[in-house]
């Protein structure tokens, strides 16, 4: 069995993401078919999906919600981290055979990733990390880039005669969440102060990447489409909340970032 990814072993990590869904049933079907999540439970209309017994995504139905606005603060993407490069290769084969629309495929030096968008406009990243000992640090900043993904090399990690993609494997997690914000420097200050996150990379004044425990990033925040955005409109679909797991707290807490995005904290180890 694969090990739990490094991203989940840090003092603070991402636990779950909640989405407000205009059509929760259709969205759940998409995440089951495309991402390979399993339905774990239902409560008060909300559908919880995950990998193995680990909940990762909660869909909260609101048929009256207005569509998400990509120019507003909110979700850029939820990044589902697979335990191994071979798992990413299996997912690529699954995407090819099921004709899943891919919007991007990148080698970020620290990770290899593919990008897509769900039917309600929520961004998704499917990725696998390179070994942490192979990441390049320059002091307290990490080297990341966006280069062409060598898809044949990733697919080549799948052993001959392999059973192929069987859904998101056990120990798949939400490795990071990338947010749309109005001002990345304000997001940086908030995550530094509220969670003690380290700033590990900046892309000019347009994006910032932050983490706990020397991970490449648990949170990304960019203003590529949302520069100057104010508080989120709670009547829109899209991101409902992000839940962080922390070794540093003994009770649950809920707070809002400067754009009204709800960030929950729960105690305990992954």
DSSP at 35: I
pLDDT digits (tens, 9 = 90+) for 6-58: 999 999 999 999 999 999 999 999 999 999 999 999 999 999 999 999 999 99
State the pLDDT at residue 2: 65
Question: Per-residue pLDDT averaged across 111-116, rounded?
Answer: 98
pLDDT digits (tens, 9 = 90+) for 132-157: 999 999 999 999 999 999 999 999 99
State the pLDDT at residue 21: 98
State the pLDDT at residue 269: 74
CATH class held by domain 6-267: alpha beta
- The pTM (predicted TM-score) of the whole model is 0.98
Domain range annotation of the chain: 6-267
Where helices occur in the chain by DSSP H, the ranges are 24-30, 85-97, 151-155, 184-195
Tokens linked to 72: 């507003």
3 state DSSP class of 63:
coil
């Amino acid at each position: 069995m694969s090990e739990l990814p490094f991203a989940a072993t840090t003092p603070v990590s991402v636990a779950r993401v909640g989405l407000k869904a205009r059509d929760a049933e259709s969205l759940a079907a998409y995440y089951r078919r495309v991402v390979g999540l399993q339905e774990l439970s239902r409560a008060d209309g909300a559908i919880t999906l995950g990998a193995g017994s680990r909940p990762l995504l909660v869909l909260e139905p609101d048929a009256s919600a207005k569509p998400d606005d990509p120019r507003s603060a909110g979700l850029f993407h939820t990044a589902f981290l697979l335990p191994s490069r071979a798992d990413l290769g299996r997912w690529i084969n699954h995407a090819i055979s099921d004709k899943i629309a891919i919007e991007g495929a990148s080698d970020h030096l620290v990770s290899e990733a593919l990008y897509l968008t769900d039917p309600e406009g929520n961004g998704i990243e499917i990725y696998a990390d390179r070994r942490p000992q192979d990441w390049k640090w320059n002091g307290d900043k990490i080297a990341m880039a966006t280069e062409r993904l060598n898809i044949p090399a990733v697919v080549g990690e799948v052993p001959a005669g392999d059973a192929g993609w069987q859904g998101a494997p056990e120990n798949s997690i939400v490795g990071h969440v990338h947010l749309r914000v109005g001002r990345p420097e304000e997001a940086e200050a908030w995550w530094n102060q509220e969670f003690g996150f380290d700033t590990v990379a900046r892309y000019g004044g347009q994006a910032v990447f932050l983490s706990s425990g020397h991970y490449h990033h648990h949170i990304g925040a960019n203003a590529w489409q949302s520069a100057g955005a104010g508080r989120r409109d709670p009547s829109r679909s899209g991101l409902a909340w992000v839940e962080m797991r922390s070794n540093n707290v003994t009770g649950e807490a809920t707070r809002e970032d400067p754009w009204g995005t709800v960030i929950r904290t729960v105690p305990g180890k992954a």
